[in-house]
Amino acid sequence: MSGPLSMAAEPIYIGTVQPVTGPYAAFGTKFYQAYNIAADEINAKGGIKGRPIKIVFEDSQDKMDLGQTAAEKLIARKEIIAIIGGRLSGVGYAIAQICERAKMPYLVDHPSADIVTKSGFQWTFRLNPASSFNSVPLQQFLKNVATDVKKVACLYENTIYGKGVAEPFKKFLEENKYEIVVSEVYPPLALDYRDLLTKTKAANPDLVFMASNIPDSALILRQARELGLKPKMFSGAGAGFSISEFIEQATVAGNHVYSTGPWSGNPKDPAVQAFMKKFMQRFGKYPKEHEAEGYAAVYVIADALKRAKAITREAVRDALAKTDMMTTFGRVKFENFDGYTNQNNGLKNGQVVLSQWQDGKLVNVWPKEVAEADWIYPGKY
C-alpha cells in the first residue's frame, strides 16, 4: 500500500540534461512538463518507499560541450541516482560515454542515433526507438499506398540525428530501386534554404524526405511553398515535424506533411487517452512524441527504483536491466539484439508510426491498427 509522503522524507533525485535555453528550448519545455506531471502523479501515490522523486535540470542548449558539462555536474552530485533525457542525439551520445565511465545509470528517452545503444554501453538504456527504426512506417507506406513514388529527394541536417535517420532510409531506397535525385546535408539553423530547395524542385521528386529540427523544418516548408515545390509527398522524420511548433510556424505550408518516427502511445488505449486529457488540462496542448517519451521515462525509472535492492546507482542500473513493463508509450523491455545493447525494441513493439498534419492536428495514418484518420495522398501542397 502506498501511503502519504512524509514532509521530512528525503527526495530521490533524478538528473536530466535538456535544452532549457537557446534555439531548441521548446523541446526542453516539453520534457519539463512531461517529467513533472509524471513525478507529481507518482508522488501523490506515495512516491518511492515513502520518498518523493524530484527531477533536477541542467541546461545543454542542445550543444555537445554544454551537454557534457551538464552531465558531469549531475554526476558530481552524490544524491543524484540516475540521469534521463539528453534530447539531441549528439548530446545523448556524449552523456552515454560519460555515464559509462562514471558508472551512472542513464535512461535515454529521445536521442535516437543507433550509436547510442550500439557502442556496448552497460550503463545506458533506451526506451525510444533507434533511428534505424524511424523510417520503417514510411517504407511500408511507400510499398503499400504510395506505389507511384519513384524519385526521392533526401534533405537532412548535418548532425548525428540527421545522418542517423537519413542513412538507413537511403539504404532502403537504394535496395528497392528508387531513384535518389537529390541527397543533401545542410547546416542547421540557416536563415535561407532557397538554393537547396530550388535544386530540389529542378529534380522533380515525388517524395521529399527531411530530417530537421525546429525552426528549420517549418522554414523549409514555408520556402518550399513559396518556390512552388510540390511533390506528391513531404515527409519529415519526427523531431521538428512532430511538435505543435511546426504547424504554428509553418502554418498552411505544413498541412498534409507527414512525419515518420516514434509514436505518442496507442490513441485507442484508455491509459493514453487519460494521459492526453490530463496533459491538455494542465498545459493547454496535447502531448505528442517528446512528451510521451518523457512521461514514460519517469515511470520506468520509478519502477526500477521500486525494484532496486537499494537506492544506489549500481542497484538502479541492475533493476533497469530487468525492466519489462507496460507504459503509456507501450511495452518497455531492454534487450540485446542486432548489435544493440539495452535497447527497447520499438519496431517489434509497434512504437513507430507514420502521421500526417491534417487541419492543424497531427494524426496517425499508418499502420492501420493505430490510425486516427485516413491518409491524404498525394498531399495538397
DSSP code per residue over 15-65: EEEE--SSTTHHHHHHHHHHHHHHHHHHHHTTTBTTB-EEEEEEE-TT-HH
Looking at the structure, do residues 50 and 176 belong to the same domain, yes or no?
A: no
Q: What is the Cα–Cα distance from 74 to 56, expressed in whole angstroms?
A: 8
Looking at the structure, do residues 361 and 225 belong to the same domain, yes or no?
A: yes
Looking at the structure, do residues 337 and 356 belong to the same domain, yes or no?
A: no
For the chain, percent of residues with pLDDT exceeding 90: 89
Retrieve residue 102's grid coordinates.
562514471
Residue 100 lies in a domain: yes
Looking at the structure, do residues 154 and 200 belong to the same domain, yes or no?
A: yes
Could you say which DSSP state residue 287 is in?
A: -
Side-by-side strand order, sheet with 80-85: 53-59, 12-18, 80-85, 106-108, 124-126, 340-344, 330-337, 324-327
**Segment 326-347, tens digit of pLDDT:** 999 999 999 999 999 999 999 8
Average pLDDT score over the chain: 95
CATH assignment at residue 194: 3.40.50.2300
Looking at the structure, do residues 168 and 233 belong to the same domain, yes or no?
A: yes
Residue 324 lies in a domain: yes
Looking at the structure, do residues 145 and 247 belong to the same domain, yes or no?
A: yes
- Count how many domains the chain has: 2
Residue 377 · residue 162 · CB < 8 Å: no
Helices (H), 308-364: 313-321
Looking at the structure, do residues 170 and 319 belong to the same domain, yes or no?
A: no
Looking at the structure, do residues 224 and 206 belong to the same domain, yes or no?
A: yes
Looking at the structure, do residues 26 and 115 belong to the same domain, yes or no?
A: yes
What is the reported pLDDT for 9? 86
Residue 22 lies in a domain: yes
Looking at the structure, do residues 215 and 282 belong to the same domain, yes or no?
A: no
Retrieve residue 155's grid coordinates.
534533405
Q: What is the Cα–Cα distance from 82 to 60, expressed in whole angstroms?
A: 17
Half-sphere exposure of residue 261: CA atoms within 13 angstroms, side-chain side:
33
Looking at the structure, do residues 109 and 145 belong to the same domain, yes or no?
A: no
CB atoms within 10 A of CB 148: 11
Q: Is the pLDDT of residue 3 over 50?
A: no
Exposed, middle or buried by CB within 10 Å (0-12, 13-18, 19+), for 180? middle
pTM for this one?
Answer: 0.92
Find the domain containing 105 and state its range.
12-130+267-344
